[in-house]
Amino acid sequence: MDAGNGCSARALAACVVGGIVLGASVLALHLAGGPAAIPPLPLPPPIGALLRRRRRPVRVYMDGCFDMMHYGHCNALRQARALGDELVVGVISDDEIKANKGPPVTPLHERMVMVRAVKWVDDIIPDAPYAITEEFMNKLFNEYNIDYIIHGDDPCLLPDGTDAYALAKKAGRYKQIKRTEGVSTTDIVGRMLLCVRERSSDAHNHSSLQRQFSSGHGQKVDDTGSGTGTRVSHFLPTSRRIVQFSNSKGPGPDSRIVYIDGAFDLFHAGHVEILRLARELGDFLLVGIHTDQTISATRGRHRPIMNLHERSLSVLACRYVDEVIIGAPWDVSKDMITTFNISLVVHGTIAENMDFTEDDLHPYAVPMAMGIYRRLESPLDITTSTIIRRIVANHEAYQKRNEKKEASEKKYYEGKSFVNGE
Partner 1 sequence: MAIGLLAFESHQGLWNSGYYSQLFGIGGVLITLTILMLSTGYFGGIGAPFAPYFWPYLGQVPKKRERKRPVRVYMDGCFDLMHYGHANALRQAKLLGDQLVVGVVSDEEIVANKGPPVLSMEERLTLVSGLKWVDEVVPNAPYEITEEFMNTLFNKYSIDYIIHGDDPCLLPDGTDAYALAKKVGRYKQIKRTEGVSSTDIVGRILLTFRQKDADTDLSVVVAEKSGEKSNDEVKSQLSHFLPTSRRIMQFSNGQAPSPGARVVYVDGTFDLFHAGHVEFLRSARQLGDFLLVGIYDDESIRDRRGCRPIMHLHERTLGVLACRYVDEVIIGAPWEVSKDMITTFNISLVVHGTVAEGNSAGEIDPYAVPKSMGIFQTIRSPKSITTLSVATRIVDNHEAYKKRNLKKKASEDRYYTQKKFVSGD
- Establish if 142 lies at the interface with partner 1 (CB under 8 A): no
Strand partners, 284: 257
- Establish if 9 lies at the interface with partner 1 (CB under 8 A): no
Q: 59-64 and 123-128: which strand pairing? A: unpaired
Hey, what amino acid is at 138?
Answer: N
- Establish if 99 lies at the interface with partner 1 (CB under 8 A): no
- Establish if 5 lies at the interface with partner 1 (CB under 8 A): no
Q: Which is nearer to partner 1, 94 or 323 (CB)?
A: 323
Task: For the chain, report the end-to-end CA distance as a whole number of angstroms.
Answer: 95
User: How far is it, in rounded angstroms, from Cα 90 to Cα 81?
Assistant: 14
Give least dist CB 210 to partner 1, A: 10
| Cis peptide upstream of residue 329 (ω within 30 degrees of 0) | no
- Establish if 39 lies at the interface with partner 1 (CB under 8 A): yes
- Establish if 53 lies at the interface with partner 1 (CB under 8 A): no
- Establish if 283 lies at the interface with partner 1 (CB under 8 A): no
353's torsion region: left (phi>0), alpha (psi -120 to 50) or beta?
left
DSSP letter, residue 163: B
Give least dist CB 242 to partner 1, A: 5
- Establish if 26 lies at the interface with partner 1 (CB under 8 A): yes
Give least dist CB 313 to partner 1, A: 9
3-class DSSP state for residue 101?
Answer: coil
Binding to partner 1 (CB under 8 A): which residues in 170-199? 181
Backbone angles phi, psi at 24, to 5 degrees: -60, -40
Give least dist CB 39 to partner 1, A: 5
In angstroms, what CA-CA distances link 131 with 61, 78, 83, 165, 358?
14, 22, 22, 7, 53
Nearest residue to 267 (alpha-carbon basis) of 382, 358, 394: 382
Write the binding mask 396 to 415 for partner 1: x where contact by CB under 8 A, - elsewhere.
-----------------x--
Q: State which of residues 326, 368, 380, 397 lies at the interface with partner 1 (CB under 8 A).
A: 326
- Establish if 32 lies at the interface with partner 1 (CB under 8 A): yes
Q: Which is nearer to partner 1, 214 or 228 (CB)?
A: 214
Write the binding mask 329 to 368 for partner 1: x where contact by CB under 8 A, - elsewhere.
x---x-xx-xxxx---------------------------
User: How far is it, in rounded angstroms, from Cα 328 to Cα 321?
Assistant: 15
Query: Would you tell me how many other CB atoms lie within 10 Å of the CB of residue 147?
Result: 18
Residues that bind partner 1 (CB under 8 A): 4, 7, 15, 18, 22, 25-26, 29-30, 32-33, 35-40, 181, 211, 215-218, 232-234, 236-240, 242-248, 250, 253, 286, 307, 309, 312, 316, 323-329, 333, 335-336, 338-341, 413, 416-418, 420, 422
